[in-house]
Structure 1
Amino acid sequence: MSQNPQDPAGTTQQFQRFQQGQSEKSGPNMGLIIGIVAVVAVVAILVIALVAIG
């Protein structure tokens, strides 16, 4: 059986295109961060309210 030779330059270019696509999407997701901060704030308010009542 013969194997098809792979062109290293072709695979490198494909990888670079893949990386460029990933780098555009990378970074912090601001919606997720704001959501987590909001949940933490609500939990903190509930804990403070329960401590004040008890």
Structure 2
Amino acid sequence: MPENYTDPSGNTEAFRAFTQTPEATAPAESPSRLPLIIGAAVVVVLLVAIVAWLALR
């Protein structure tokens, strides 16, 4: 370990500086909602088709 290494848990100031680095505070990307929207649209279309088929029988 290098001699100039500062343990971030050694004091509060160093720990806060360590936890507020850009790598640690970068927000994680949220997953895409497109598959959910497409799936919901397919379900709606299928339900409408089933209801129409039953109504016209």
- Give the TM interval when normalised to the shorter protein: 0.5 to 0.7
Q: 2:17 aligns with which of 9, 26, 44?
A: 9
Please give the secondary structure, in 2, of the residue aligned with 1:26.
coil
> Alignment identity in percent?
24
Structure 2 distance, partners of 1:4, 1:52, is 75
Instruction: Name the structure with the higher helix share.
Output: 1
The answer to whether the aligner puts 1:50 opposite 2:20 as a matched pair is: no
Equivalent residue pairs, number:
45
Which has the higher relative contact order, 1 or 2, with Cα contacts under 8 A spaced 6 or more apart? Answer: 2
TM superposition score normalised by structure 1: 0.59
TM superposition score normalised by structure 2: 0.57
Name the larger-Rg structure. Answer: 2
